[in-house]
Amino acid sequence: MFIDEAKITVKAGGGGHGSIAFRREKFVPRGGPSGGDGGAGGSIYLVADTHENTLLKFRFNHIFRAERGRHGEGSNRQGRSGGDLEIRIPIGTVVYDDDTGELLHDFTEPNEYVLMAKGGRGGHGNAHFASSSNRAPRRAEDGAAGEEKNLRLELKLLADAGLVGYPNAGKSTLISRISAARPKIAEYPFTTLEPQLGVVSLDTDKSFILADIPGLIKGAHLGHGLGIQFLRHIERTRLLLHLVDVSGTNERDPIDEFHAINCELAEHNPDLPKKPKIIVATKMDIADPKKVQKLARWCKKSGLEMLKISSVTGEGLEDLKRAVFEKLSSDILKV
The CATH code of the domain that includes 19 is 2.70.210.12
pTM of the model: 0.74
Residue after which a domain boundary falls, among 128, 155, 182: 155
DSSP string, 108-171: -STT-EEEEEPPPPPPPPGGGG--SS-SS----PPPPPPPEEEEEEEE----SEEEE-STTSSH
Q: What CATH number should be reported for the domain holding residue 177?
A: 3.40.50.300
Answer yes or no: do 105 and 24 share one domain.
yes
Which of 136, 155, 174 delimits the end of a domain? 155
Judgement on whether residues 117 and 185 belong to the same structural domain of the protein = no
Q: Which of 134, 155, 176 is the last residue of a domain?
A: 155
Domain that holds residue 169: 161-334
- If asked whether residues 5 and 56 sit together in one domain, one would say yes
CA distances from 143 to 37, 49, 263 (A): 9, 33, 55
Q: What is the pLDDT of residues 16-28, one digit of tens each?
A: 999 999 987 777 6
Number of domains in the chain: 2
Q: What band does 211 get if pLDDT is binned at 50, 70 and 90? A: confident
How confident is the model over 105-148, as pLDDT tens digits?
Answer: 999 999 999 999 999 999 999 999 988 888 889 999 999 999 99
